[in-house]
Amino acid sequence: MTYIVNDNCIACKYTDCVEVCPVDCFYEGENMLVIHPDECIDCGVCEPECPADAIRPDTEPDMEKWVEFNRKYSELWPVIITKKDPLPEAEERDGETGKLEKYFSEAPGEGG
C-alpha cells in the first residue's frame, strides 16, 4: 500500500502534510503536491493533515491512475519538506470538481 495525492490538491496546495512525513516523499509542482509511491512507507500520518482531503490510500477504488500520476510527477518535480502558504485561491477552489482538466500545471514548484 502507498498513499497518493489526487486532484483535490490542485489549485490549493496545502503543505501541512510535508512537515509530518518521516521520509520526505512529497514533491512540489507549480499548483499541487504528489507522493513518490516507492518512497512512501505507508505510515498514514499525512492523510489527516490535509485540509483538502487530497491524500488517499491506494487501496481505495480507482486509485491506479493516481499512483502512476504521482510516480510520474515525483520523478520530475523537486522534493518539498518545508510547509509553505497555500495558493491564494485555495479556499475558493477547495472541493471544486474537474480541477485536473481546468487547472493542472506540469511545471515544477520550487521545492525546499
pLDDT tens digits for 63-99? Answer: 999 999 999 999 999 999 999 999 999 999 999 999 9
pLDDT, residue 9, reads 98
**CATH architecture label of 3-83:** 2-Layer Sandwich (3.30)
pLDDT for the residue numbered 1: 86
pTM: 0.96
Task: Let me know how long the chain is.
Answer: 112
The predicted structure's pLDDT at residue 106: 98
pLDDT over 90 at 46, yes or no: yes
Judge whether residue 49 has pLDDT over 90. yes
99: CB partners within 8 A, 6+ apart = 7, 8, 10, 11, 93
Distances in Å between the Cα of 73 and the Cα atoms of 10, 16, 35, 84 are: 13, 19, 9, 19
